[in-house]
Each structure stands twice: as structure tokens, then as C-alpha cells.
Amino acid sequence: MYQLKTDPDLCRRCETTDCLARCQYLNLDPEAAKREKMKMIEGLDSIVLHQCATCYGCEEYCKHRNHPFYLIVGLQEKRGIKPAPEDFIREQVKLFAPREEAKITEIDGTPLSMCLFPKLKDSRIAGSIFEGTSVLMGRNFFCNLVYLHYGMHSLILERVENTINNFARHNIDELVCFHDECYALYASYAPAFGLEVPFRPVHLFEFLHRRLLDNAGKIKKLGLKVAYQRPCSTRLTPEKDHYLDKIFALIGVERVKREYDGENPLCCGAVFRAQGRGDLADDVQARNIGDMVQSGAGACVFNCPMCYMTLSGAVAQKGIRPILISDLCRLALGEDVAD
């Protein structure tokens, strides 16, 4: 079994407790955060293991990239702490399990992973942005990183090597990841456990920026004020987020300033409901959407398909247009997109 590459001594020497004290859900003061951090470094029980909202925020707050959230998940599993009801977890594990050997399909152009979002493939992978891409998706290409929310390193590690190999068997040099969580698997999670990834993962932002530059002569400035719904998974790989602002600059979009953006985003709430924490889901959704309204945004831009499916209806009811980042780019190229 692969082992997490962390440095406990680095945590002990670290003078800041930002990884826990800045958490938007735990409400720990710096002294309490330090105390709970030290417990977990020693492999002991901590209130964090029981109260963690699995927002991934501590991964971004740790400037040493020492993977505090991955440590939390490992301790949860070791101690049998289930962040979600066991019957729900069993159902999810069975529902998305790989069933047969992945078939080799012909790659004609840029390989694009759609993970487990076939409906989006049918309605969203179109136009000049996605011209010349070959889609790979299904259970055999499922990143499985969602099981971080359920305290299950062992299942991810059991399946991840097969997932990586299923892509590698197509002899690809790069893999564009439509889902942010897929990118995080290859760019953050796999290296943290010493897994080799024999291709370069390309985040959707980088791919869209590249394609916009290729079609620069067709771009029409949109003149929109938008709020960005920053998903939990993007906190595992914040280093690629600069591409989003480059995209906005190219297509004439203003990213409004609001409370819940940057390193202070709120989750969409989907996982909280799955964990049986409906009150928390209602609270964060109300604050998040209220902040969008107050910011004066005319549209809400989504990167994560799950965030889009969870919040798009509620956002639209407030008069704010929900739109995937890829569709926003297609609009700037004068193409029609589905609502």
C-alpha cells in the first residue's frame, strides 16, 4: 500500500496554525488549533477528525504543502470515523466501482477526461473550443477522489493505479481534465503518495486559455460581471488558478470582489447533504448566494460540474445566470450554448 509523504517534524516546527485556525467550519482559535494539530501529528484522536467538513481548505492554507487534509483522512479511516452514513458510503462504493477491463479507443487529437459526467459530454463538449478532442470517460476512468469526503484513502489507493493505467494504455502525453477533482488526483494526490503519473495532467483552465489564444481573432468581449464558485477540489491545486484570471481578461469579464472568493470560498453544499449535515448545507448556500447577489454579479461561473448541478437552480432564481467556464468561453467565441 502506498504511504502518504508528509514530514511530521515540519509540522512540529511550523510556527503558524493557519491550516486549522483559518478553517471556515471548525471555529478553532490559534491555541486550540495548535493543540489539535499536535494531537494529529502524534496519531491521536482530535475533534478535527469528528468535525471536519472535508472542504480541503487546510491543503491550501498549509504553505509547506505538507498535506494536512490527507493526514486527517488517513486518521479518520484508521480510527473508523465515518464522515457520512455507512449505508450511503457502501452504496456509492458499489455504484461507481469499475466492472470490466477498459477498452482501448482510438485517440484522434487531444485526450479529454470527462470522468463520470456523460450528460455534460452530450450537451457541452462542442464548438471550436473542443474541436479535435477525444473523450475518455466512465467507471474505468473515474478519479475516485470523491472518497476523500468519506474518509477512505484505502479505496482511492486500491483503484487509482488501475485508473492511471487505463489512461496510460492509450499512449498519451497529456490528459485534459474537465473535472477539477480529476486534475487534483494526478497533480496533488498521486504525488503525495508516491504514485507515478506517466502523462502530464492539464487543467481545464489551462486548456481553455490555450484554445482561446488559438481563436483570438474570433473573441468578442462579453462585458459581464461574474462571481466565481470556487470548488473544494481546486484547493488541492491552487497553483493553476491564475489561468482563470487570464481567461477573464481575454474575454472581457470582470471577476467581482466578494467575501467568499480567493482563499475564502464556501462549498456548494452537496457533500454536506450526503454527510447528513443538511443545516450546514443550507447555511453555506444561503451565505454564498447572498454574497453573489450583493456583489452585483450578472452571472455565476462554475468550474466543477457538481457545484453547477447543486447551485445552478438556486442561483438562477436570484436572477444570476449560472454558466460553466467552458460555456462562457464558447459564448465569447460567438457560439450558442445550452442553458
Residues 294, 60, 174, 268, Cα dihedral to 10°: -40
Mean pLDDT, the chain, as a whole number? 95
Spatial distance between the Cα atoms of 135 and 113, rounded to a whole number of angstroms: 6
Is there a domain that residue 91 lies in? Answer: no
User: Does pLDDT of 339 surpass 80?
Assistant: no
Spatial distance between the Cα atoms of 257 and 228, rounded to a whole number of angstroms: 10
User: Can you tell me the mean pLDDT for 217-236?
Assistant: 97
- CATH number of the domain that residue 286 is part of: 3.40.50.1860
Of 45, 70, 44, whose CA–CA distance to 56 is shortest? 70
pLDDT band of residue 250 (cuts 50, 70, 90) is: very high
- Same structural domain for residues 225 and 291? yes
How much is the pLDDT for 122?
85
User: Does pLDDT of 47 surpass 80?
Assistant: yes
- CATH number of the domain that residue 171 is part of: 3.40.50
Is there a domain that residue 103 lies in? Answer: no
Question: Mind listing the pLDDT tens digit for each residue in 140-162?
Answer: 999 999 999 999 999 999 999 99
Question: Mind listing the pLDDT tens digit for each residue in 66-90?
Answer: 999 999 999 999 999 999 999 999 9
Strand partners, 301: 228, 323
How much is the pLDDT for 338?
81
Q: Retrieve residue 84's grid coordinates.
A: 457520512
DSSP-derived 3-state class of residue 300: strand
Strand partners, 322: 300
- Same structural domain for residues 230 and 293? yes
Decide if 101 contacts 79 (C-beta within 8 A): no
Q: Which residues contact 170 (CB under 8 A, 6 or more apart)?
A: 104, 105, 107, 111, 136
Is there a domain that residue 136 lies in? Answer: yes
pLDDT band of residue 118 (cuts 50, 70, 90) is: confident
How much is the pLDDT for 123?
86
State how far the alpha carbon of 222 is from the alpha carbons of 40, 219, 328, in Å: 48, 9, 9
The residue type at 237: T
User: Does pLDDT of 136 surpass 80?
Assistant: yes
pLDDT band of residue 283 (cuts 50, 70, 90) is: very high
User: Does pLDDT of 105 surpass 90?
Assistant: no
How much is the pLDDT for 60?
96
Find the range with the poorest average confidence among 49-53, 107-111, 263-267.
107-111
- Same structural domain for residues 190 and 216? no
Full domain range(s) for residue 23: 8-78
Of 211, 248, 246, whose CA–CA distance to 128 is shortest? 211
User: Can you tell me the mean pLDDT for 21-42?
Assistant: 94
How much is the pLDDT for 244?
98
How much is the pLDDT for 200?
98
The residue type at 164: I
pLDDT band of residue 106 (cuts 50, 70, 90) is: confident
The residue type at 71: L
Is there a domain that residue 84 lies in? Answer: no
- Same structural domain for residues 156 and 243? no
Decide if 178 contacts 167 (C-beta within 8 A): no
Decide if 177 contacts 141 (C-beta within 8 A): no
- Same structural domain for residues 320 and 214? yes
User: Does pLDDT of 100 surpass 80?
Assistant: no
How much is the pLDDT for 314?
98
- Same structural domain for residues 187 and 254? no
- Same structural domain for residues 144 and 47? no
101 against 162, higher pLDDT: 162
- Same structural domain for residues 275 and 319? yes
Helices (H), 25-152: 30-41, 47-51, 57-61, 68-78, 86-95, 118-124
Provide the angle, in degrees to the nearest 10, between the axes of the packed helices 305-317 and 278-295.
Answer: 60
User: Can you tell me the mean pLDDT for 234-241?
Assistant: 96
How much is the pLDDT for 298?
98
- Same structural domain for residues 43 and 118? no
Decide if 202 contacts 113 (C-beta within 8 A): no
User: Does pLDDT of 1 surpass 80?
Assistant: no
Question: Mind listing the pLDDT tens digit for each residue in 164-219?
Answer: 999 999 999 999 999 999 999 999 999 999 999 999 999 999 999 999 999 999 99
> What is the DSSP annotation of 39-60?
HHHTT---HHHHH-----HHHH
Is there a domain that residue 133 lies in? Answer: yes
Is there a domain that residue 145 lies in? Answer: yes
Query: Which residue, of 204, 223, 241, is where some domain finishes?
Result: 204
- Same structural domain for residues 183 and 263? no
Is there a domain that residue 297 lies in? Answer: yes
Query: Which residue, of 78, 97, 129, is where some domain finishes?
Result: 78
- Give me the residue label for grid cell 488549533: 33
- Same structural domain for residues 257 and 172? no
Query: Which residue, of 78, 96, 118, is where some domain finishes?
Result: 78
| pTM of the shown model | 0.95
- Same structural domain for residues 18 and 124? no
Burial 263-272 (b: 16+ CB within 10 A, else e): eebbbbbbbb
Domain count, the chain: 3
Is there a domain that residue 85 lies in? Answer: no
